[in-house]
Amino acid sequence: MSGNGLGPKNVCTDLENSEIRRMSHEYHRRGIVTVTDLLEAHTRQAVRAEAERLLDKHAERRDLRLETTGYTRRSMSVVPSEVIAGNSELVTSLYANPQLVGALEAIAGEKLHACPKADEEFLITRQEQRGDTHGWHWGDFSFALIWVLLAPPIDIGGLLQCVPHTEWDKSSPRINNYLAENPIDTYYFASGDVYFLRTDTTLHRTIPLREDATRIILNMTWAGDRDLKRELKADDRWWDNADVSAASSIKK
């Protein structure tokens, strides 16, 4: 396991209560809020270096479509959760950091629980080829903190698009219906930005890259009380196994 750490420095900045309330209001209205100012610059720099180190050693390529999201596309390199947990003291310590978790709970207005499925705690992704995308999808668990560690210029793609206040029915995802019936919010996040996302009720995707470029993110996932009461089927864990039953390969 990497010995990289943040030492005695604070992970988070000391934001005013009024700023936390503003973030909370935006999060509940839009299903997403930028929280870059919550994280110290040295924290974000350390996470980028760690993600690049893990990608260099452990990246696995995925190119597939997923049945449970209407065959939307996943094209990127990944470092799965268990690999991150077993090789990064930095990421695991941040995930359990009470200062960070407490601030996110204040924004969410509820308790965040460690993800009950080890394969969903973390995910590092790198989009790098023309057409790479994380197609329209939801998350099985409620909360995700997304560290945008490296982003291409806005005109290259990789932007995030969201439709908040939606529901995921894996047997009938109805994604095109949601897109036709609701506004689509589009966000550009530059390198170093961080956002907090309500993943289980916010339909979201990244716009495909229009040319070879690099977009790297770290996803940290937490559960809400509601998630601990649900039993999830594990047939669509594409990041953990490219051969899961709900996946189909992309024909070149």
Q: What is the distance between the alpha carbons of residues 243 and 106, in angstroms, rounded to a whole number?
A: 39
> Angle CA(115)–CA(33)–CA(234) in degrees, nearest 5?
30
E strand or H helix at 113, and its extent? strand 113-114
pLDDT band of 148, cuts 50, 70, 90: very high
Q: What is the distance between the alpha carbons of residues 139 and 203, in angstroms, rounded to a whole number?
A: 9
Domain ranges of the chain: 20-230+240-249
Q: Does the pLDDT of residue 10 top 80, yes or no?
A: yes
pLDDT tens per residue across span 38-90: 999 999 999 999 999 999 999 999 999 999 999 999 999 999 999 999 999 99
Burial class (CB in 10 A: 0-12, 13-18, 19+), 56: exposed
Tokens linked to 74: 């996943």
pLDDT band of 4, cuts 50, 70, 90: low
Tokens linked to 11: 């992970």
Burial code (b: 16+ CB inside 10 Å, e: under 16) for 106-137 equals: ebbeeebbebebebbbbbbbbbbbeebbbbbb
Q: Does the pLDDT of residue 232 top 80, yes or no?
A: no
Q: Does the pLDDT of residue 37 top 70, yes or no?
A: yes
Q: Does residue 45 sit in helix, strand or coil?
A: helix
pLDDT band of 215, cuts 50, 70, 90: very high
Please give the average per-residue pLDDT across 181-208, as a whole number. Answer: 98
pLDDT tens per residue across span 149-182: 999 999 999 999 999 999 999 999 999 999 999 9
Residues 6+ apart with CB under 8 A from 3: 89
Neighbours of 63 (CB within 10 A): 18
Residues 6+ apart with CB under 8 A from 217: 124, 125, 146, 147, 148, 149
Q: Does the pLDDT of residue 33 top 60, yes or no?
A: yes
Please give the average per-residue pLDDT across 93-110, as a whole number. Answer: 97
What is the pTM for the complete model shown? Answer: 0.95
CATH of domain 20-230+240-249: 2.60.120.620
pLDDT confidence of residue 203: 98
Eight-state DSSP code of residue 142: S
Please give the average per-residue pLDDT across 112-116, as a whole number. Answer: 97
pLDDT confidence of residue 53: 98
**Residue 215, beta-bridge partner list:** 127
